[in-house]
């Protein structure tokens, strides 16, 4: 039984993680933290957990956490997350970081997109990115895993195989993504206020979203050459789910069938990625750790459509999958 | 052309009011106020108004407002509203108050439910309630109109005629109401955060909602005797609309047909209230100033179902209807 | 490993049941039926199941089914369900019936509300109602369990304990219920067409809904005397969830605390029912087999608020709970 | 007063048209048709119209219609629409066609995309496309106007000015569009069933949507050379609204400011198109005849974002705008 601590347990990804772990026979949640006052019971923060988990949210220091947990999941915001993780690693606690702190390899790129110097810059470039479909073996051994961003997961799973196999060009990739509102977190803000985003659809952060360099980095690795995507996120009036519609240019005369076959071969044996025939809806994968991918060729352009649940495959499910790999549980435990 | 000022123009009722008045041939919006800094253009606060209204939101004092407006609509919160209205009335400006400040007759009941002493207590009991279906003639002459609450409008329109005609008893009335989220205003709060109220349905303020004494007061007037309703509001995951399902006890052997006929007679000639055969949906009346009412008798209990748009007949449409009566415009101007 | 067959596997309750059973270590789905042509793969009917269940939907006769399944869940419509179940029972297959066919004790009441003679009338009155909180022991032994209706589950769980303990009167009970749209099934109809029910809220079947006699029957049993509820269902623009707001008259001077204590005592040890302090939202229980109940006393009337997921505790989760009892699995298996 | 007939008055565009025309001082609705049996009252088909329009839906022949209406709006499906319009034109009735029948110039392209031979092929190429921003003068004189498709309106308004001014290239244009569900019409189908499309987001008709050749044709006219767009429509869980995110390649070194200035110049004086600074949300324009357009340059690619209400600027509002031009009413009558 692996003992689990969760940092910043008031938000949506933490709730999702708790619900997944409650079903996991090899994990026991032993510590939840918050910076809020008063040590609230977890069920007063998350009414869904009434009668299901009897823990308070506490303001714990590193020593307390290290004494109580073998694995810590950090749901803290960027910067705060790295600051909490560094001493935990030093205390021998293995960590999964939900924040963006350890996803980028370059401190300069991090500083440019996140507007501050990285508090643990020397570690950048030495942390595995928690996408098991690409980095399974490194994850098994890792003390620290950088859990991928939700949009990058949807984009990279669709495009990396086509870049690796050379079926599409590195240039001119457009990722037009659409996400449910839970992706914006649980802090009340006008743009996530119900009557503002209900019955509304809009783009945001056009050309400025922090997931853009993250997609670039891992697609560049896959392509073995620089990739710079045009990334446009949109907000969909629904709780959860991401669909990424990506446009790319084929290198040769590959047909739709060739592209589908390449994706199928790449994902053969993967427990959570399915290459499907019809354009997937986000509802096909909500509340699962699955990613559904379809591909079309239209007027000489390759269109991939990939759907995930932003809170599961895009966050907490991926984290459990990484945890399973790190601690020797079967990879799908708690996720089927 | 009546010149219009709107106090507290950043919220949903103000936006709705502006859109209604832009279609009104006899009204011109000349002043908008806010307590926010920086005198923002109205289109930066309400992007829907881009190119449709070229005004800034200003921090105006009474003299400025009185010089610019013949009629002021106050969308300020309670207490702040009365404080702004008193000097305007003294300056000869006629006012429609969207807040609850002038709806209750008793300063004691006001203080109990609104948790503070009324800043203009002596005026209570002398202000007309802006429900034209009950108080049309007094509205015409009023310097100040207390615009009704959204839930009370739906409940009173359904029940007052049955109490006035003695067809239902004063005792044991239950009003089970359901409202869209815009009724909660535009200030971000956790309970109106999109992922909290989307795909969710809950009651709130059970037995404690401030509209309960307001419903009591006007149903008591209609019944000519004390009425104390059980009022339970609920939050529906939609932008706008209220449905009130009210349960009451018939006094005699009135059939469904009798009750419907009594309602039809009461509302004969009313431009905005229709007694319909089938249970109304809120969508039958959204974006209109209409109220649809149906009645059923089930196992000896009378069930009325009344639907309005909370932002129109429950707020800004009613305000325009009152304005029309006050300033001699045809009552339906701008509302059809 | 219990082998499972599911009749009528194209709808929402069947999908939910399949997803629950895929996580159940003691159950194996071995047969799915449909009356549709062509033996479609389950993933072409339910894209969520791609790669998760490799079965076709078949048009199987009783002998085939009896050879393949130890337990059959019938998701067929009423009448068709009883007709399919009778021969299965004769062949020794234990059954859980999602339809209303075996919920009512009286063939006359059944005929009145369901508009046809019951095809297996003599069995009525001898089938256990699958609400473990009331009938756990009988369920264990049953060959056939009548899985409760969704609205009745929410109403009976809130009211039966208060009737059993004599804290509320049998007369004058009002159940004002609100349900997500999945309760209406998967067959396209105008009233469930997206633009008709989105941003809409309405009552339907006022005084005529078939769940009314079902609620009557089990509350009458609990009260040991006739109960006739006023039942008003409403449609909420959301996928799933039921909230029932029930109004009843206390028999004595029981306070809110007394009523809550009585509910807590009644449900002590129950794995899926929690008596909570704050009014529950449906989202507190969606995707769980839980029921959350709160109680208030307002102006001398008892108000209970009970929330369930209509597809889980109101259908497929209850069915798995019943299955666990029938086949000797721990009651919560697959449901936590 | 222009007398109006509406063919196929049971759907959403017809309802929207009726509501707009009820506010139009120069139009009187005198005839509504349906192929349904029984001559239902319009309020039984559209409960919103109770007390607002007292007309039946009738099965009228050409002579009846021609006697009653000066202008006919056809909301019939393609093919049926042309068949109804031809004799009306011969009878001297001016028509606005909501269907796609007269939008394409080539009978061959029509036959390819609509799967049947055009019933009035010789008229193709001689009918004005009802987009006043491009074809205002021809619309004034037209006996027949082809009302534009909803997606094409959003795409053409954003891209035509940039093609006309030569700021973007003809090649490589991608239009990634997202629409509310009302665009799918009012006939119940599984993919528009509430629980199927609520909380869901998906692409559909990828590379096969019939609006693709319509966009091609009018962008080709604007570019004075062949344009073939990649068009991907998506379904958003909301009632109404379209956002089109279009990607194109600049011809030179035009900056974001240059592109915005070009759009502003093109639309100077247009009553319904605004070039805005921030990415528009569909809610900024719902229930209006407005189109909001923003432009960005990201990594050397031009991104335009254009929002309309699919039922108003994308259908019925455009039709009223065309009607105003055709019959000499001020262009904005009934639309502000």
In this predicted structure, the answer to whether residue C102 has a pLDDT above a threshold of 90 is: yes
In this predicted structure, the answer to whether residue C73 has a pLDDT above a threshold of 90 is: yes
Percent composition of chain B: helix, strand, coil (DSSP 3-state, to 5):
40, 20, 40
In this predicted structure, the answer to whether residue A320 has a pLDDT above a threshold of 90 is: yes
Instruction: Pull the structure tokens for residue D146.
Output: 């082809």
Q: D310: closest CA among D213, D217, D182?
A: D182
Asked if B102 and B34 count as a contact pair (C-beta separation under 8 A), the reply is: no
Residues of chain D with C-beta less than 8 angstroms from the C-beta of A279: 202-204, 206
In this predicted structure, the answer to whether residue C114 has a pLDDT above a threshold of 90 is: yes
The DSSP secondary-structure symbol of B315 reads I
| Min Cα separation B220/chain C (Å) | 16
Predicted local distance difference test score (pLDDT) of residue D35: 87
Interface with C, mutate which of A19, A22, A50 (most C CBs under 10 A): A50
| Min Cα separation D173/chain C (Å) | 31
Residues of chain B with C-beta less than 8 angstroms from the C-beta of D284: 47-48, 50
| Closest Cβ opposite residue B195 in set A195, A196, A239 | A239
Classify residue A328 as exposed, middle or buried by CB count within 10 Å of its CB (0-12, 13-18, 19+): exposed
Predicted local distance difference test score (pLDDT) of residue C37: 83
Say whether D199 and C12 touch across the interface (CB within 8 A).
Answer: no
From chain A, which residues contact D within 8 Å (Cβ)? 174, 176, 178, 180, 196, 198-204, 206-207, 228, 230, 232, 234, 236-241, 243, 245, 247, 279-283, 286, 296-299, 301, 303, 305, 307
Residue numbers of D annotated as active site: 150
Beta bridge partners of D84: none
pLDDT in tens, B103-139: 999 999 999 999 999 999 999 999 999 999 999 999 9
Across B134-151, b (16+ Cβ under 10 Å) vs e yields bbbeebbebebbbbbbbb
| Closest Cβ opposite residue A23 in set C47, C280, C336 | C336
A to C CB pairs, distance under 8 Å: 43
SS3 assignment, position A249: coil
SS3 assignment, position C175: strand
Say whether C279 and B206 touch across the interface (CB within 8 A).
Answer: yes
B to C CB pairs, distance under 8 Å: 133
Alpha carbon of A291 to those of A288, A307, D197, D280: distances in Å? 9, 6, 19, 30
- pLDDT band with cut points at 50, 70 and 90 for residue B35: confident
Predicted local distance difference test score (pLDDT) of residue D328: 97
Predicted local distance difference test score (pLDDT) of residue A146: 98
SS3 readout for chain D: CEEEEEECCCCHHHHHHHHHHHCCCCEEEEEEECCCCCCCEHHHHCHHHCCCCCCEEECCCHHHHHHHCCEEEECCCCCHHHHHHHHHHHCCCEEEECCCCCCCCCHHHHHHHHCCCCCCHHHCCCCEECCHHHHHHHHHHCCEEECCCHHHHHHHHHHHHHHHCCCECCCCCEEEEEECHHHHCCCCCHHHEHHHHCCCCEECCCCCCCHHHHHHHHHHHHHCCCCCCEEEEEECCCCCCEEEEEEECECCCCCHHHHHHHHHHHCCCCCCEEECCCCCEHHHCCCCCCEEEEEEEECCEEEEEEEECCCHHHHHHHHHHHHHHHHCCCCCCCCC
Say whether D176 and A245 touch across the interface (CB within 8 A).
Answer: yes
Predicted local distance difference test score (pLDDT) of residue A16: 98
- Of chain C, the percentage scoring pLDDT greater than 90 comes to 98
Say whether D243 and A303 touch across the interface (CB within 8 A).
Answer: no
Asked if A162 and A188 count as a contact pair (C-beta separation under 8 A), the reply is: no
The pair phi, psi for residue A274, each rounded to 5°, is -125, 135
Helix B150-164 crosses helix B132-141 at what angle (to 10 degrees)?
Answer: 110
Asked if B173 and B333 count as a contact pair (C-beta separation under 8 A), the reply is: no
Q: What's the mean pLDDT in B294-309?
A: 98
In this predicted structure, the answer to whether residue B37 has a pLDDT above a threshold of 90 is: no
| Closest Cβ opposite residue C279 in set B198, B202, B281 | B202
pLDDT in tens, A227-278: 999 999 999 999 999 999 999 999 998 999 999 999 999 999 999 999 999 9
From chain D, which residues contact B within 8 Å (Cβ)? 22-23, 47-48, 50-52, 199, 274, 276, 278, 280-281, 283-285, 287-288, 290, 292, 336
In this predicted structure, the answer to whether residue C36 has a pLDDT above a threshold of 90 is: no
| Min Cα separation B77/chain A (Å) | 19
Tell me which of 3.40.50.720, 3.50.50.60, 3.40.50.850, 3.40.50.2300 is the CATH number of domain C2-147+314-327. Answer: 3.40.50.720
Chains sharing 3 or more CB pairs under 8 A with chain D: A, B, C
What are the residue ranges of helices labelled H in chain A?
Answer: 12-22, 42-45, 62-68, 80-90, 107-114, 132-141, 150-164, 194-197, 211-223, 256-266, 317-327
| Closest Cβ opposite residue B193 in set A188, A237, A238 | A188
Predicted local distance difference test score (pLDDT) of residue D8: 97
Say whether D198 and C12 touch across the interface (CB within 8 A).
Answer: no
Query: Rg for chain D (alpha carbons), in Å?
Result: 19
Q: Which long-range contacts (CB under 8 A, 24 or more apart) does A124-129 make?
A: A127/A102, A127/A103, A129/A103, A129/A218
Residues of chain C with C-beta less than 8 angstroms from the C-beta of A52: 336
Mean of per-residue pLDDT scores for chain A: 97
Residue numbers of B annotated as active site: 150
Question: Which residue in the block uniquely carries the two structure tokens 């998906």?
Answer: D202
| Min Cα separation A56/chain B (Å) | 20
Residues of chain B with C-beta less than 8 angstroms from the C-beta of D290: 50-51
Question: Regarding the domain with residue range D2-148+314-327, which homologous superfamily does it belong to in the CATH classification?
Answer: NAD(P)-binding Rossmann-like Domain (3.40.50.720)
pLDDT in tens, D174-199: 999 999 999 999 999 999 999 999 99
Say whether D186 and C190 touch across the interface (CB within 8 A).
Answer: yes
Q: What's the mean pLDDT in C104-117?
A: 97
SS3 readout for B101-162: CCCCCCHHHHHHHHCCCCCCHHHCCCCEECCHHHHHHHHHHCCEEECCCHHHHHHHHHHHHH
From chain C, which residues contact A within 8 Å (Cβ)? 22-23, 47-48, 50-52, 199, 274, 276, 278, 280-281, 283-285, 287-288, 290, 292, 336
Residues of chain A with C-beta less than 8 angstroms from the C-beta of D202: 243, 279-283, 305, 307
Q: Is the pTM of this model over 0.95?
A: yes
Q: What's the mean pLDDT in D105-118?
A: 97
Round to whole Å and give the CA distance between B165 and B163.
5
pLDDT in tens, D198-247: 999 999 999 999 999 999 999 999 999 999 999 999 999 999 999 999 99
Residues of chain C with C-beta less than 8 angstroms from the C-beta of D200: none
- Of chain D, the percentage scoring pLDDT greater than 70 comes to 100
Nearest CA in chain D to B332: D23
What strands, in cross-sheet order, belong to the sheet with B94-97?
Answer: B57-58, B27-33, B2-7, B71-74, B94-97, B144-146, B128-129
Predicted local distance difference test score (pLDDT) of residue D96: 98
Mean of per-residue pLDDT scores for chain D: 97
- Choosing from A71, A95, A150, A197, which is the catalytic residue? A150
pLDDT in tens, A164-213: 999 999 999 999 999 999 999 999 999 999 999 999 999 999 999 999 99
Predicted local distance difference test score (pLDDT) of residue A13: 98
Residues of chain C with C-beta less than 8 angstroms from the C-beta of A281: 47
Residues of chain A with C-beta less than 8 angstroms from the C-beta of D228: 299
Residues of chain A with C-beta less than 8 angstroms from the C-beta of D151: none
- pLDDT band with cut points at 50, 70 and 90 for residue A36: confident
Tell me which of 3.30.360.10, 3.40.50.20, 3.30.930.10, 3.40.50.10490 is the CATH number of domain A150-310. Answer: 3.30.360.10
Bridging pattern class, strands D202-203 and D230-235 = antiparallel
- pLDDT band with cut points at 50, 70 and 90 for residue D144: very high
- pLDDT band with cut points at 50, 70 and 90 for residue B36: confident
- Choosing from C71, C75, C95, C150, which is the catalytic residue? C150
Instruction: Pull the structure tokens for residue C26.
Output: 């003691």
| Closest Cβ opposite residue C193 in set D180, D186, D238 | D186
pLDDT in tens, C223-271: 999 999 999 999 999 999 999 999 999 999 899 999 999 999 999 999 9
Predicted local distance difference test score (pLDDT) of residue D101: 98
Chains sharing 3 or more CB pairs under 8 A with chain A: B, C, D
Say whether C192 and D189 touch across the interface (CB within 8 A).
Answer: no
Round to whole Å and give the CA distance between C134 and C161.
9
- pLDDT band with cut points at 50, 70 and 90 for residue D50: very high
Domain boundaries, chain A: 2-148+314-327, 150-310
A to D CB pairs, distance under 8 Å: 134
Question: What is the number of other CB atoms lying within 10 angstroms of the CB of residue C1?
Answer: 10
Say whether D188 and C186 touch across the interface (CB within 8 A).
Answer: no
Residue A35 makes CB contacts below 8 A (sequence gap 6+) with: A8, A59
Sign of CA pseudo-dihedral A307, A312, A316, A322: negative
Predicted local distance difference test score (pLDDT) of residue A35: 87
| Min Cα separation A239/chain D (Å) | 7
Asked if D66 and D93 count as a contact pair (C-beta separation under 8 A), the reply is: yes
| Min Cα separation C161/chain D (Å) | 33
The DSSP secondary-structure symbol of A320 reads H
Question: What is the number of other CB atoms lying within 10 angstroms of the CB of residue B35?
Answer: 11
Round to whole Å and give the CA distance between B307 and B313.
10
pLDDT in tens, C154-193: 999 999 999 999 999 999 999 999 999 999 999 999 999 9
Asked if A287 and C287 count as a contact pair (C-beta separation under 8 A), the reply is: yes
């Amino acid at each position: 039984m692996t003992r689990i601590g969760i940092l910043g347990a008031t938000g949506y990804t933490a709730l999702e993680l708790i619900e997944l772990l409650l079903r996991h026979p090899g994990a026991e949640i032993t510590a939840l933290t918050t910076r809020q006052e008063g040590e609230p019971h977890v069920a007063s923060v998350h009414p869904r957990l009434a009668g299901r988990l009897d823990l308070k949210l506490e303001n714990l220091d590193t020593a307390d956490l290290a004494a109580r947990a073998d694995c810590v999941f950090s749901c803290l915001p960027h910067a705060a997350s790295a600051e909490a993780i560094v001493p935990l690693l030093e205390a021998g606690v293995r960590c999964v970081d939900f924040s963006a702190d350890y996803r980028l390899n370059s401190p300069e790129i991090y500083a440019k997109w996140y507007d501050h110097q990285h508090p643990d810059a020397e570690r950048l470039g030495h942390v595995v990115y928690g996408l098991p479909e690409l980095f399974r073996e490194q994850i098994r051994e890792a003390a620290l895993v950088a859990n991928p961003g939700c949009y990058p997961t949807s984009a990279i799973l669709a495009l990396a195989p086509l870049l690796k196999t050379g079926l599409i060009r590195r240039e001119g990739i457009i990722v037009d993504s659409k996400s449910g509102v839970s992706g914006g977190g649980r802090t009340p803000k006008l743009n996530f206020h119900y009557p503002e985003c209900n019955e509304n659809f809009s783009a945001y952060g056009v050309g400025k979203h922090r997931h853009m360099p993250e997609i670039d980095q891992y697609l560049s690795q896959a392509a073995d050459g620089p990739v710079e995507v045009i990334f446009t996120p949109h907000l969909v009036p629904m709780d959860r789910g991401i669909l990424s519609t990506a446009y790319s240019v084929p290198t040769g005369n590959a047909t739709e069938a060739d592209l589908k076959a390449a994706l199928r071969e790449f994902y053969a044996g993967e427990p959570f990625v399915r290459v499907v025939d019809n354009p997937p809806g986000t509802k096909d994968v909500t509340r699962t750790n699955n990613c559904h991918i379809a591909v079309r060729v239209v007027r000489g352009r390759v269109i991939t459509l990939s759907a995930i649940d932003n809170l599961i495959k895009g966050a907490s499910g991926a984290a459990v999958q990484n945890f399973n790999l790190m601690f020797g549980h079967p990879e799908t435990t708690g996720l089927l």
